[in-house]
Amino acid sequence: MGKLAVVAIGGNSLIKDKRHVDLYSQLATVKETCRQIAELVQTGWNVAVTHGNGPQVGFLIRRAELATGELPLIPLEFAVADTQGAIGYMIQQSLMNEFWQRGIARQAVTVVTQVVVDQNDPAFKNPTKPIGSFMTREEAERHAREDGWTVVEDAGRGWRRVVPSPEPQKIVEGAAIKDLINAGYIAICAGGGGVPVIEREGLLEGVAAVIDKDYASSLLATAIGADLLVISTGVSRVAINFGKPDQKELDHLTAAEAEAYLAAGHFPPGNMGPKVKAILRYLGRGGKEGLITSPGELVRAVEGKAGTRIVAPGRPSATSADSLFHSMTGANTTQM
């Protein structure tokens, strides 16, 4: 089946125009991305596709909030599962249409994926991930009182719900996903980082949390023995000194260089940081190489013509690493 790549699609990248966030607009964007994935398959790669769902979960929860009084709220873990199915359907249909048009005898299948987290993860005591829409203080206090939400004020813009974002520990359906890939299917899985579950005496139980989809994609890549982890985002390449006059785009990094840039603050937690960390985790567990690029340049990036490639081990000497670190400065926080 050729080499295996895990391709992680960002949930925000499915929304090109914030004035048009309806599902058909997202479907049109998915079709564009799936042309790239189908072309990758056509060149001989086998692919597992993951995706984000942050905005989509927010939309779904907002719809439920607007229906308060008529229908019950949607528990967060169910919202993650719902959007896994909906976005999976869009990717699955778009890929199969592309395969048919290209004469590729392959099928795509969506796996609603559960991901185990530790019930003692510190994130459960310190929820930080904003989700859903802004609320007035009165609305926030009501949800906190009646629904047990943790709410915080967000920079004077209103109040928002915050939820835990625990570390992924295990892909529950990992073996099944690997079997599907070995049988020739394109697996769409671990959507939105997976449905977070905890284990109690061997039984699974969903929890109200969200898992970073890049960290889950990294874990999946290890679990299925992927040769390449590709994370698509809103920029063609990773940059240092982002947004500054001396901004510099990077096309190739060793793991050690990426770690040094990360430590120097070039890849902040709110955007590029988790993507770089996800690849470093994958490489640290024996992975071969990672790529960060935009959805439209997926094929060119895999060919080495675009994107930022991070490889291991390839560590620079202590002298060059020290020199590299001290030459770095902090980064702008808008790189996505």
Catalytic one of 129, 158, 170, 241: 129
Is residue 275 among the annotated active site residues?
Answer: yes
- Cβ–Cβ under 8 Å, residues 252 and 237: no
Catalytic residue among 54, 174, 192, 213: 213
Does residue 129 have an active-site annotation? yes
Per the CB < 8 A criterion, the answer to whether 125 and 209 are in contact is: no
Instruction: Give DSSP secondary structure letters for 245-308.
Output: TT-EEESEEEHHHHHHHHHTTSS-TTTHHHHHHHHHHHHHTT--EEEEE-GGGHHHHHTTSSSE
Other Cβ atoms closer than 10 A to 76? 24
**Candidates 12, 97, 241, 332; catalytic one:** 12
Of 193, 275, 287, 307, the catalytic one is 275
Give the whole-angstrom CA distance, residue 254 versus residue 323.
15
178 annotated active-site: no
Nearest-angstrom CA–CA distance, 214 and 132 = 20
Distance CA 112, CA 166 (A): 19
- The sign of the CA dihedral 47, 48, 52, 56 is positive
First-to-last C-alpha distance (Å) of the chain:
33
Helices 272-284 and 213-223, packing angle to 10 deg: 20
Catalytic residue set: 11-12, 129, 213, 275
